[in-house]
Amino acid sequence: MLTIRLFRVGRKNQPAFKIVVCNKQNAASRGRFVEEVGFYDPLTKQRNLKGDRVKYWLSVGAKASPTVHNMLVTDKVVEGPKIAKHKLSKKPASPIGGPAAPAAGQAVPPKAEQTSAAPETTLEASKEVSPESKP
């Protein structure tokens, strides 16, 4: 299956990306890709896309990566909504100010059972005075 993705080129701390069509299972390393369809420089935000070639590869069955898809939507090469590229955390969120969720592998202490029955002694019962203690 073909995919349209970013292929990093450039020096250390000076990234630049080619937008290439390559096989999904194999990385696009060392120039092993089917075709270069664009260029992206994140430092200057400069983009160069060959819209007709991108449309051709999409019509043949290639899928765009989420980042490239969002670029295509922004440049109006493809119509549709943008794709969220950040994944949500799988950890359950703990309430603010509440106890933190236990880490993986830790045992959760059992909660004490609460009974709904009222205690036998009440305030009024404790105020009663026995006849022997009257002055």
Query: Is 33 domain-assigned?
Result: yes
* Beta carbons within 10 angstroms of residue 33's beta carbon: 21
Q: What is the mean pLDDT of residues 101-129?
A: 58
Most confidently modeled range among 7-11, 92-96, 105-109, 130-134: 7-11
Query: Is 110 domain-assigned?
Result: no
Query: Is 24 domain-assigned?
Result: yes
Place of tokens 């995919």: 3
Q: How many domains does the chain have?
A: 1
Question: How far is it, in rounded angstroms, from Cα 2 to Cα 128?
Answer: 87
CB 63 within 8 A of CB 54: no
Q: What is the CATH number of the domain that holds 35?
A: 3.30.1320.10
Query: Is 68 domain-assigned?
Result: yes
Query: Is 13 domain-assigned?
Result: yes
Question: How far is it, in rounded angstroms, from Cα 16 to Cα 7?
Answer: 8
Q: Which domain holds residue 36?
A: 2-74
Summarised one tens digit per residue, pLDDT across range 60-110 is 999 999 999 999 999 999 999 998 877 777 777 666 755 655 566 566 566
- Burial category of 63 from C-beta neighbours within 10 Å (exposed 0-12, middle 13-18, buried 19 and up): middle
- Residue 121, pLDDT above cutoff 60: no
Query: Is 52 domain-assigned?
Result: yes
Query: Is 86 domain-assigned?
Result: no
Closest CA to 57 of 38, 80, 40: 38
Summarised one tens digit per residue, pLDDT across range 16-63 is 999 999 998 887 777 788 999 999 999 999 999 999 999 999 999 999
